[in-house]
Structure 1
Amino acid sequence: MIKRDVFYIAGYDPKGYRYYYLLFKRNLEEYKRRFELKVELSKSDASKDFPFWRVNANDVECQYTFLAWNDIVKKNWSQNYKDALYDCYSFFRIYTITGLFIKFGKESIYQLITGYYPFFYVLFSLLFSLGFGFLTLYFLSFYIPLFFAVLAGILLTYYSNKFLYDYGKKLAVFWIARICSFCANWQERRVGDLEERMELFAQKIYHTLKENQKENYELILLTHSVGCVLCIEVLARVLSLCKENGVDFSRLKILTLGECIPLVSYQKKALDFRKKLEFVAGFDLKWYDYTSVIDGACFPQVDFIRTSGVYAKEHFGPKLLNPRFHTLYKPQNYKKIKRDKNKAHFLYLMSVENNGAYDFFNFIVLDKFLEEKIKD
């Protein structure tokens, strides 16, 4: 019987554990039907420090704990056009003026294109709306009183901008902008509530690991998107506690999905973050990093340790892997997934249609240890 603890850190998302529980439940049901498995899922339980649910399969007992920080996300969540302009300003100030965009382009042209996509969309929306309003004012001023021409120009500027903003939401423009802005301001955003929350995450993981020093046990730290940035901070603290107290960390496994770590680690001012990244890289961990080209919010197969300038010969790092999503879904379904940027980003957490190199529920629910199930 394998006992497994999974600690999940979500990305920059205001949705709470209920949303992620339903996502897990819906996809697990689909996975069970497709592969004819007997798996039992409990209800979510929020009575303790962090919400969790249990999953039981043949010879496996798994507890899946949601390390919540969505309440902190809500405090910084961009909700209107003004916030979108600030997000794009942050992107321009941190990644463009400093020249970091050149490094991004060198390491991942996909991320560079995705990063500038919301910036140019917002800029185009603003210029188009102002231009449309001004032209309206100009032409109408020849036929109607100036007051009404000005009023018509203002109204058309406002509604054209609103239309483009609402349309941008459907294209996931502002979701990408939020991620980039949050990471651009990581040094400021991590201070305070988030720093305290990450310490709670680390303490929870450390004590769970300390209390389960059995051969038939594994603890998986599972992180997604911006959650992978938090992972470095949390992991550094967990490993520091293990080192200080002589606790064996060999049963700790790391699974990072759709990471965007370079958005923070490439910044010149991120010295403390790079020190933690360097510290983490000094441990020989069972660490697996999955990224895909169709996920526009990640850096596909980029060695973020080496490219962040903290690489040394004695250092270790994650095994960089491609989930090869195109092999896991039927061709017609995969085409739809590629067009849906939001779904493509969350695909790591969903049920597959075919057996292949990546299988989320196999990693989390079924028997054998994680390292036995990873296919290069």
Structure 2
Amino acid sequence: MPAFKRKIFYLSGFDPRGARFYHQLFAEQADAYGRTAGRPLEISKRRRLPPHSTAWSVEDRQAGVETDYVFLGWDDVVRTHWAKNPLALLKRSLTAYWNFTRLLDWPIVKNFPFGVRFAFYYPGISTILLPILFGIILTLPLGALLGWRWGLAAAALIGAAVAMFVVRKIQGFWLLRFIIFNDTLAKDRLPADVDDRMAAFADQIQAAFDEDWDEILFVTHSNGSIMAVPIVARLLERCGNRLPDRFSLVTLGSCIALIGNRKDSKRFHALLESVGQGDFRWLDIGSITDGACIAGIDPCISCAQPRKARLFQTSPRWFKYCDPATYEARRRNKYETHFDYLRTFDRISPLDYIAISAGPRPLEASIDAFKAENHV
């Protein structure tokens, strides 16, 4: 019998990639963790958990730890809301940007890290303003060379090509779809398929409360942190506003404040208020080097009542656990930085994702160890 049994429910962000991608990523990072820690981890093959989830087991035999890892699948739902037509994507992006710009609570938003505000608008600027700017710059020389009609057409094509290169390089189309989806969420127009799926996930997590686990972690990444709000709100409603002591919510690269600070997101605000008033442990990790998360801002900053949930919020401090060359290389790839919460680096942090997923310490002890190492 293992000395410590853990259950993890993992909810990804707005990502059409499913369990296969995340299982492979986890296995690769577990292998790196095992080499660094000197204790190999055994990762099983995936197994289906109908109707929507996938599971695999993680075992650290030397430490006597066994983890049952459940990937909460909503990638099929994401794909149904993944705008494909370029013109529709552009039109819906303009609408979403307009809604966010006029409806965000700017006295709060101005306190967000600058990189977040820059990253939020950069895909739109690259898609809309760059073609216009390059077109203006190129129109005069190309018009003189080719004639005004052909010169204008060539300038427009070159401007669009340059803009598309920039947008693809920064994964801008993914960010535009992220913005569109969350604009829909903020306006309380989220289709029933998303609500139904989150309710099913709440059922799965609640069922684990009656099982024999030493620890239950609900881990979310990116947009999954926003979707965690209705799930945790349901769990609190069913459990008398207090979740079991062995349960913890872990939000990685969270962007809850993006919707929490939209003036029109009445339903989400009500759910966030109930989550903030709940009794449970909450670990929130976000880096200011990650422009796709809102780091260092209390997720419940827009709530009317002071938060009661036991939140510990921190930076991952990757610079401390990476060799300088590794750190600089990671920072240059902004898209991959957003997934570094799920990776292992040159030295193992107490809050390394594989460590809290498969290691022998309960989350509370890992948080205490991180505080001691970093004097926080």
Q: TM-score, normalised by structure 1?
A: 0.89
* Residues 21/189 of structure 1: CA separation in 2 closer, same or farther (3 Å cut): farther
Q: Give runs of aligned pairs for residues 1-376 of structure 1, distance below 5 A.
A: 1-46=3-48, 48-49=50-51, 50-57=53-60, 58-79=63-84, 81-86=86-91, 88-98=93-103, 100-101=105-106, 103-128=108-133, 130-131=135-136, 134-135=139-140, 138-139=143-144, 150-151=149-150, 153-186=152-185, 187-188=187-188, 190-209=190-209, 211-212=210-211, 214=212, 217-243=214-240, 249-305=244-300, 307-312=301-306, 315-374=308-367, 375-376=370-371
Structure 1, 229-238 or 82-91: larger mean CA deviation: 82-91
Q: Where in structure 1 are there 5+ consecutive unaligned residues?
A: 143-148
- Measured on the aligned residues, the alpha-carbon RMSD in Å equals 2.3
* SS of structure 2 residue aligned to 1:5: strand
CA contact (8 A) 1:202 1:237 kept: yes
* SS of structure 1 residue aligned to 2:316: coil
* SS of structure 2 residue aligned to 1:43: coil
* Residues 139/238 of structure 1: CA separation in 2 closer, same or farther (3 Å cut): same
Structure 1, 270-279 or 131-140: larger mean CA deviation: 131-140
Structure 1, 63-72 or 123-132: larger mean CA deviation: 123-132
CA contact (8 A) 1:284 1:316 kept: yes
* SS of structure 1 residue aligned to 2:58: strand
CA contact (8 A) 1:55 1:64 kept: yes
The Cα of 1:65 is off from its aligned counterpart by: 0.6
* SS of structure 2 residue aligned to 1:302: coil
The Cα of 1:321 is off from its aligned counterpart by: 1.2
Q: TM-score, normalised by structure 2?
A: 0.89
Query: Structure 1 CA distance, aligned partners of 2:146 and 2:348?
Result: 66
* Residues 348/18 of structure 1: CA separation in 2 closer, same or farther (3 Å cut): same
CA contact (8 A) 2:236 2:275 kept: yes
Equivalenced residue count is: 363
CA contact (8 A) 1:239 1:249 kept: no
Q: Where in structure 2 are there 5+ consecutive unaligned residues?
A: 372-376
The Cα of 1:169 is off from its aligned counterpart by: 0.9
CA contact (8 A) 2:144 2:151 kept: no
CA contact (8 A) 1:295 1:344 kept: yes
CA contact (8 A) 1:10 1:226 kept: yes
The Cα of 1:279 is off from its aligned counterpart by: 0.9
Structure 1, 87-96 or 290-299: larger mean CA deviation: 87-96
Paired position in structure 1 for 2:374: none
Query: Structure 1 CA distance, aligned partners of 2:171 and 2:146?
Result: 38
* Residues 287/88 of structure 1: CA separation in 2 closer, same or farther (3 Å cut): same
Query: Structure 1 CA distance, aligned partners of 2:43 and 2:146?
Result: 67
